């Protein structure tokens, strides 16, 4: 199911050259910002929850997820070099699974780890806030990576659609239409975080059971469908 060579190639495509620096700029900004906030406001649980929830989980994790998820397969399909990979005696599902693992790993390292650090800087893990949001970031990393990897195989404009989902659907519609929150990776992961934190600082609109079921379902279905798409992939010319 897991192929180290494909993993190495994907990893290099994602982090090779200057890309790791650009991916690393976002988490760095979060940590710097946390330090600034700590200096201005001091250790405050509500502030920490706002910053981690508003900036880390709502903006940074989806963006890193889009970059890592679509970047794991999108460019290869785009420039046609994916045929060299597909012509190797590897199962398509193996390729997708390996790329998913790498995308999840990259998303976790560049989003969950900084979230934990930022949380520790902000209030030293008071009320378990840092850990709760880190767990949320870890869980949503998996779902986002699977979802955006699927988008990468389906559409040439995967990045745009991924961003439309992450920013317009989750952020804009989620804040205006309460019903949209039920169908949002962010809220599902918050449900898990709520369980971890236990307090009332981390809240979600979705129950834990629903959230877990939906998270697992989305991840598995997206991965299966991505594998299915890759099996019947037709290479289109550049528009």
Partner 1 sequence: MAVEQPTPAPVPVQGDQTRIHNIGYRSYDGPRLGRAYATRSLYSQSLRGAYGLGRSAKSKVLPMLLFVVMCVPAAIMIAVTVATKLKDLPVDYTRYAIFLQAVISLYIASQAPQAVSRDLRFKTVPLYFSRPIETADYVRAKYAALASALFVLTATPLLVLYVGALLAKLDFADQTTAFAQGLVSVTLLSLLFAGIGLVIASMTPRRGFGIAAVIAVMTISYGAVSTLQAIAYTQDATGSVPWIGLFSPVTLIDGLQTAFLGASSSFPGGVGPGHGEGAVYVLVVLGLIAACYGLLMRRYRKVGL
Residues binding partner 1 (CB under 8 A): 19, 22, 26, 29, 33, 36-37, 40-41, 47, 50-51, 54-55, 58-60, 63, 66-67, 70-71, 74-75, 78, 156-160, 163-164, 167-168, 171-172, 238-239
Q: Which is nearer to partner 1, 83 or 168 (CB)?
A: 168
Q: Which is nearer to partner 1, 16 or 198 (CB)?
A: 16
In the complex, least distance from residue 28 CB atom to partner 1, rounded to whole angstroms: 11
Q: Which is nearer to partner 1, 16 or 207 (CB)?
A: 16
In the complex, least distance from residue 213 CB atom to partner 1, rounded to whole angstroms: 30
In the complex, least distance from residue 154 CB atom to partner 1, rounded to whole angstroms: 13
Encode the chain in three state secondary structure.
Answer: CCCHHHHHHHHHHHHCCCHHHHHHHHHHHHHHHHHHHHHHHCCCHHHHHHHHHHHHHHHHHHHHHHHHHHHCCHHHHHHCCHHHHHCCCCCHHHHHHHHHHHHHHHHHHHHHHHHHHHHHHHHCCHHHHHHHHHHHHHHHHHHHHHHHHHHHHHCCCHHHHHHHHHHHHHHHHHHHCHHHHHHCHHHHHHHHHHHHHCCCCCCCCCCHHHHHHHHHHHHHHHHHHHHHHHHCCCCCCCC
In the complex, least distance from residue 188 CB atom to partner 1, rounded to whole angstroms: 21
Q: Which is nearer to partner 1, 3 or 107 (CB)?
A: 107
């Amino acid at each position: 199911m897991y192929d180290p060579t494909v993993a190495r190639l994907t990893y290099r495509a994602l982090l090779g050259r200057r890309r790791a620096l650009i991916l690393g700029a976002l988490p760095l900004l979060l940590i710097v910002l946390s330090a600034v906030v700590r200096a201005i406001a001091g250790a405050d649980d509500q502030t920490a929850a706002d910053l981690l929830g508003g900036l880390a989980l709502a903006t940074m994790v989806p963006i890193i997820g889009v970059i890592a998820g679509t970047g794991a397969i999108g460019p290869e399909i785009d420039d046609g070099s994916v045929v060299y990979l597909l012509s190797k005696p590897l199962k398509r599902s193996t390729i997708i699974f390996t790329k998913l693992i790498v995308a999840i790993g990259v998303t976790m390292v560049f989003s969950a780890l900084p979230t934990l650090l930022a949380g520790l800087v902000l209030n030293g893990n008071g009320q378990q806030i840092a850990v709760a949001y880190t767990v949320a970031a870890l869980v949503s990393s998996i779902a986002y990576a699977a979802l955006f990897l699927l988008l990468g195989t389906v559409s040439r404009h995967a990045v745009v659609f991924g961003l439309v989902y992450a920013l317009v659907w989750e952020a804009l519609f989620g804040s205006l239409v309460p019903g949209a929150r039920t169908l949002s990776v962010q809220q599902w992961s918050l449900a898990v975080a709520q369980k971890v934190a236990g307090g009332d600082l981390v809240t979600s609109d979705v129950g834990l059971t629903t959230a877990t079921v939906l998270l697992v379902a989305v991840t598995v279905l997206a991965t299966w469908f991505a594998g299915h798409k890759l099996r019947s992939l037709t290479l289109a010319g550049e528009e």
